[in-house]
Copies of this chain bind each other. A is one copy, B any other.
Amino acid sequence: MQLSWQPLPLQLIHPFRIAHGTSSVRHNVLVRVDDGLGEAAAVHYHGETPERIVEYLRGVDLSEYSDPAQLEDIVSGLPVGSAAARAGIDIALYDAWGRALGQPLYRLFGLNPQRIPLTSFTIPLGSAEEMAERARTTDAPMLKIKLGSEAEDRARIAALRSVTSVPLRVDANGGWTLAGAEALLPELAEHGVELVEQPLPVGDLEGLRRLFQLRSRPPLFADESIKSAADILAHQGLVEGVVIKLAKCGGIRAALEQITLAHSLGLEVMLGCMIESSVAVTAAAHLAALCQYVDLDGPLLIRNDPFQGVAYERGRLRLSTRPGLGLLPAPSTPE
């Protein structure tokens, strides 16, 4: 099988401010394995860069393989290193496999796409007024609010609650202190916040243990802290759930394993994405019926998605019955 790749620069509809910084373009990598398509998105908070992804891809040789159905051999034989690059290869392989078998991936996983939970839509970090304005102008049935600078978070959530009654999730991206989180979480519970992602910085398990014992708080989910199966094991008893993303764990095969592990431990799973085109997000959507929560709005945040994959109907994900990922080239639109 033949591996190739090319740059996939994604232009953001709104420049994106999160606890880690700001950006208006993301430099993903489009990966091909024969006729299969994959995508690698740099997970900056795990030290990934587009350069590192390309360097990893340069070191991979799939020419000894000729059958995409040898998924286990191929994926487990990939060198250690960039999880994002491995995800790109893994997604392309699964697409090639589904195309070869003439089946959409969800059918090859035995899943019912009608069971996919509604996805949330992300409101990026901004002033309380900006965020409320953004919430007012979307018809999304469920919002994910980026917080993380404690001083203003109280005003932000109040402003949002004043303009919308849809379910709200909060993502602090590790931006709170323990004391700040202890003060905020009970208030978020009063506002009916559905869950809170990554309240504390990666590695603060002791802080998480303290938050977990708060009497009144929304369910807690670990995101940036979760990369490997070992990370999931380490979060037993400290969170209600974990956020699994293909780019963090290394692709579809690893995600299926991590979902199984989390569920075996009694943890819920939110399936998330990076800023990614329809390639990677459609791959995740094929697994989404296994998960309790879905946060797969990547393609809604970019203006130059080169593909058409999972479709959105007010938060409801629709997968086509085409083989593999089921991607088509994006219809050309007047610029």
Contacts and interface: CB of A to CB of B under 8 A. Distances in A.
Interface residues on A, range: 20 to 34
A1 to B, nearest CB: 14
B110 A70 contact: yes
Contacts of A111: 70-72
A289 B112 CA distance: 27
Nearest to A104: B69
Chain A interface helix/strand/loop/mixed? helix
A87 to B, nearest CB: 16
Contact of A260 (B112, B233, B257): B257
A73 interface: yes
A69 B107 contact: yes
Contacts of A70: 110-112
Contacts of A110: 69-72, 75, 97, 253
B261 A115 contact: no
A290 interface: yes
Interface in A175-234: 229, 232-233
A75 B109 CA distance: 13
Q: Which 7 A-B pairs have the closest CB atoms?
A: A71-B110, A229-B264, A69-B107, A260-B260, A261-B264, A257-B260, A73-B112
